[in-house]
Amino acid sequence: MFLALDIGNSHITLGLRPMQPAAPSARPWSVTWRWQTQNRTEDEFGLALLETLRYLGVEPAQLHGVGLVSVVPDLTPVLEEACKQYLDRSVFVVRHEEAPLWQRVTLLYDDPRRLGLDRVANAEAALALFGGPVCIVDMGTAITVDAVSHDGAFLGGAIAPGLDMALDMLHQRTAQLPRLRFHHLPPTLSPEDIPVLGTSTEAGIRAGLLHGYAGLLRGLIDEVKRALQARSPETPQVVATGGWASKFEVWLGFDHVVPHLTLEGVYLLWKRWREAQALA
């Protein structure tokens, strides 16, 4: 088994997948688990890792490798040390310093060190799974819409606040608007599911955010696809990931929804690192 950890701004996602020497798969992750992102010590994280793995029926000795990607720099060394101490496994950490050695994607970014490593992992996985050109939509704490060209160049992308962030701010910056939770929504949405004319405050917030974000995403995707087609006439595929992706799959007509695209990118980068180590 391979264990991947994705340290995000809101959650830490753990994923387990079987070792597959063949082509990468869009849905290989047999088990995933999420913690809220919060500061803990190495011992607290280590014990939590052990407890979670054993609850899932996995012993550390069954792990062939561990990989980690993080957008929370303060937690990266803490999780790395926790894995070493409690799982007795060295950790492959996706880093900017070594990334070009394992990457297939060329980063055409003004300062690649400021590019979120989750976006690098997403680009690697999307290119390996679907080829280029590809437009990658990640609907997490923040929304990113990124472009990878037909020849594997990361051209950049757009960043916007995520839906949960917008919900929080709407509540925090107003006197009377409630903080809604959208857990009751169906697994996938279409415009017909959410009346645009809300007849209550709550319905108005739902309409504004869901129709508003659908419009925002549609506009960003169209512009990113146009930028990609300026480099190559091929029609880009649209690959979506992140917590909200499946809900908008029908509404926005994504070509693919890959729930754990970032984890797959970590696995691919780890595989190339391991192959390079074997040849060294």
Closest CA to 213 of 148, 157, 165, 179: 165
**DSSP 8-state assignment for residue 245:** T
Give the containing element (helix H, strand E) for 252: helix 249-252
Closest CA to 159 of 106, 99, 114: 114
Task: Report helix angle 261-279 to 117-130, nearest 10.
Answer: 90
140 in Cβ contact with 259 (< 8 Å): no
226 Cβ contact partners less than 8 Å away, ≥ 6 residues apart: none
Q: Which residues are catalytic?
A: 118
Q: Rounded to 5 degrees, what angle do the CA atoms 66, 72, 78 make?
A: 55
Give the containing element (helix H, strand E) for 271: helix 261-279
